[in-house]
């Protein structure tokens, strides 16, 4: 399928709003929105161009006791797909004040899971212009995707999304 799939979750919150902004920046006619809540391996395999959107709400989010939430259910599906030849990017929400020592960690957790299955990631964002102490999402002074802080920096989201979409445009071919 030629459309870009945005796999995102949870529904009806900040991740959903940012996913809509990414879709709008790319062009609504070029994007299919796929909530991860009910997504499967078959859904992943339909698309060659995938953007993942998720939030980081604390270390407990992906722990075994927290498996009933959208990404808790979907994360095992990530490892069942081969991503070689697919174009992949990630955006993640986090709180750089409350979670300064784990800012957007889940971008890193997801990126590592994708890379294990052949993914090459587009859209790494330099860490400059971000305030945080530590992040599992940083590799070689770049985030492995787009970090967004809707809690303390919502006024920066539109510009960050716009710049990131321009960054991934050549890789995604839109």
pLDDT reading at 66 higher than 50:
no
Nearest to residue 43, comparing CAs of 78, 85, 69, 90? 78
Q: Domain containing 71: what range? A: 4-172
- 48 contacts 16 by C-beta, under 8 angstroms: no
CATH number at residue 87: 3.40.50.360
Question: Would you place residue 146 in the very low, low, confident or very high pLDDT band (cuts 50, 70, 90)?
Answer: very high
pLDDT reading at 63 higher than 70:
no
CA distances from 21 to 14, 17, 55, 163 (A): 11, 6, 15, 12
pLDDT reading at 65 higher than 80:
no
Query: pLDDT per residue over 77-135, tens digit each?
Result: 898 999 999 999 999 999 999 888 889 999 999 999 999 999 999 999 999 999 999 99
**pTM (2 d.p.):** 0.92
4: DSSP letter: E
Total domains in the chain come to 1
- 151 contacts 103 by C-beta, under 8 angstroms: no
């Amino acid at each position: 399928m030629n459309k870009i799939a945005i796999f995102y979750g949870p529904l009806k919150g900040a991740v959903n709003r940012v996913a809509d902004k990414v879709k709008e920046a790319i062009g609504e006619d070029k994007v299919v929105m796929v909530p991860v809540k009910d997504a499967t391996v078959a859904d992943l395999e339909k698309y060659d161009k995938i953007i993942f959107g998720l939030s980081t709400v604390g270390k407990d989010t992906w722990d075994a006791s927290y498996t009933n939430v959208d990404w808790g259910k979907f994360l095992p599906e990530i490892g069942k797909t081969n991503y070689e030849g697919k174009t992949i990017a990630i955006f993640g929400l986090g709180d750089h004040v409350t979670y300064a020592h784990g800012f957007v960690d889940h971008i890193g957790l997801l990126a590592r899971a994708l890379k294990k299955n052949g993914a090459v990631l587009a859209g790494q964002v330099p860490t400059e212009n971000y305030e945080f102490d530590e992040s599992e999402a940083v590799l070689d002074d770049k985030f492995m995707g787009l970090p967004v802080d809707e809690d303390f920096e919502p006024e920066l989201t539109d510009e960050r999304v716009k710049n990131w979409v321009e960054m991934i445009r050549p890789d995604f071919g839109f």
